[in-house]
Amino acid sequence: MDYLLFVISVLIVIAVIVGFHEFGHFVAAKWSGVHVLKFKIGFGKELFSRPDKNGTDFSIGILPLGGYIQMLGEHDFPDYKKIPNPEKLKTYSEASLKEQAIIAFAGPFANLILAVLAFSLVFMIGVKDLAPLVGHVQKGSLAEEYGLQTGSKILEVDGYKINSFTDINTRLASRMGESGTIDIKYIHNESYKSTSIEINDWLNDSSQISPINQLGISPFRPPIIESVVEGSAASEMGLFAGDKITSVNEIEILTQEDLIQEISSRPEEEVQFVIERDGVALSKIWVIPSVNVDGKIKGRLGIYFIPISKLPNALIIEITHNPITALAKGTERTIEYTLLILDSIKKLIFGQVSTDNIGGPIQIAQLSGSAAKAGLVPFITFLAIMSINLGLINLLPIPVLDGGRLVLIGIEKVKGSELSEAFIEYSYRIGVFLILGLSIFAIFNDISRTI
């Protein structure tokens, strides 16, 4: 079942973002009066094909991993002679440079529009996130060094207001590859505090470490039991769903990570627990059984914690907007991610962050599947981010991409005459070489992550 969900989610993401991209080109071409011969989503054998009254053939290929529109006069087209009265139709080459530029830009622009719509839908459905409260603080981490503590509520990062824990991660991610300070304002025990964390080439060579983990914090999740494994130590102790473990050997337990750390470090030890049940504190003494985890002996209690959806209301941020406000919020979120991705691309180009961060189809597939399993809102959010990525990547000044086409149009405008076919052909060859090289490198990174 997971495999089926995985495949379906990948196909949906690719088909939707590519389809919307090509639809942008299609609309711009029609607006410019250029005749569109074919609009196809996917490659290979056609599963569906139907011409409209204007002579445009709409089709779906067996592999929905891309798509294209074919404009009259853009390239050789085998069915050109089947078109009635082709001399009365406007070709791509007859379009003005301005019209050609609009057609080229319309695809990436459509991806940004899709992102706005997707984010707007997310805000209408309702955004549920963890409150910006610091949970477990890793020993020896930057967070511990600069004074962040469990229970601290983050208010601002580098001057940006923080509303949720995701906001913290987003703002930290924007500093990847940089040096200087990360300025954080927060509240702890009702006292307003601030700290400036010194960074040097922040996350420059880290492709798999999230910014919050690098900082050394996790969200605040109390150690409340969701269920108990039958036959486990927790079951024999008499622990129940809803119990909250508040101390281990008189060490205060505030978060799930605190409990995991204490239990795993005490195999075969007799431990005194304090459990809160229905507002009443109970004390239990039990020997923690040991398990072998990857060759290491660790203690294990045998419990599952409550999921994020069941955390107390004070630890959850949930916001729902009406359609008008949601559209404004969706536009704002799209701009935020667009700037973040552009900044990341710039840092990749100038070597401020590692090229290990470049992902290919395998990583996209893995992330699509994970987002789909997480729920509708995470999946729509992922689709929006991937749409922005596709739009911005297509604007790179590489021949065969929309950005490369815009560069060629610009050169022709400055030159004042058409570019030679040889120049265009060699430009496209270089573009294909660059795209293939980048694709191979991205796939190599994907494979390296899985082995």
Same domain as 200, residue 293: no
DSSP 8-state assignment for residue 224: B
Kindly report the number of other CB atoms within 10 A of residue 32's CB atom.
Answer: 19
Distance of CA 312 to CAs 127, 188, 223, 224, 449, Å? Answer: 16, 20, 12, 10, 36
| Segments of the chain scoring below 70 in pLDDT | 1-3, 6, 64-65, 75-88, 205-209, 353-374, 435-451
Same domain as 410, residue 435: yes
Kindly report the number of other CB atoms within 10 A of residue 138's CB atom.
Answer: 16
Domains: count for the chain:
3
Same domain as 180, residue 119: no
In a domain? residue 54: no
Q: Which of 22, 99, 257, 262 is catalytic?
A: 22
Burial (Cβ within 10 Å: 0-12, 13-18, ≥19) of residue 135: buried
In a domain? residue 153: yes
In a domain? residue 374: no
3-class SS of residue 298: strand
Same domain as 170, residue 247: no
Residue pair 219/165 in contact (Cβ under 8 Å)? The answer is yes
Residue pair 387/19 in contact (Cβ under 8 Å)? The answer is no
In a domain? residue 269: yes
Q: Is 226 a catalytic residue?
A: no
Residue pair 424/119 in contact (Cβ under 8 Å)? The answer is no
Q: Which domain holds residue 291?
A: 225-309
Looking at residue 2, its pLDDT comes to 62
Same domain as 251, residue 209: no
Looking at residue 379, its pLDDT comes to 86
In a domain? residue 56: no
Query: In this structure, which amino acid lies at residue 204?
Result: N
DSSP 8-state assignment for residue 217: E
**Exposure on the CB side of residue 378, measured as CA atoms within 13 A:** 12
Residue pair 50/78 in contact (Cβ under 8 Å)? The answer is no
**Domain boundary pick from 193, 219, 245:** 219
Same domain as 205, residue 155: yes
Same domain as 291, residue 256: yes
Give the whole-angstrom CA distance, residue 123 versus residue 329: 7
Residue count (the chain) = 451
Looking at residue 355, its pLDDT comes to 58
Looking at residue 27, its pLDDT comes to 94
In a domain? residue 72: no
Residue pair 65/71 in contact (Cβ under 8 Å)? The answer is no
Looking at residue 426, its pLDDT comes to 79
**What CATH number did the domain enclosing 230 receive?**
2.30.42.10
**Domain boundary pick from 270, 292, 309:** 309
Calculate the CA dihedral of residues 414, 416, 418, 422 and round it to 10 degrees.
Answer: -60
Same domain as 195, residue 169: yes
Give the whole-angstrom CA distance, residue 79 versus residue 415: 34
Give the whole-angstrom CA distance, residue 9 versus residue 3: 10
Looking at residue 121, its pLDDT comes to 95
In a domain? residue 289: yes
In a domain? residue 288: yes
Dump the DSSP string for 366-417: HHHHHHHHH-HHHHHHHHHHHHHHHHHHHTSS-TTSHHHHHHHHHHHHHHTS
Same domain as 249, residue 203: no
Task: Find the largest Cα–Cα distance for the chain.
Answer: 90
Nearest partner of 368 among 1, 110, 65, 5, judged by Cα: 5
pTM above 0.85, yes or no: no
Same domain as 245, residue 202: no
**Domain boundary pick from 186, 219, 252:** 219
Same domain as 233, residue 189: no
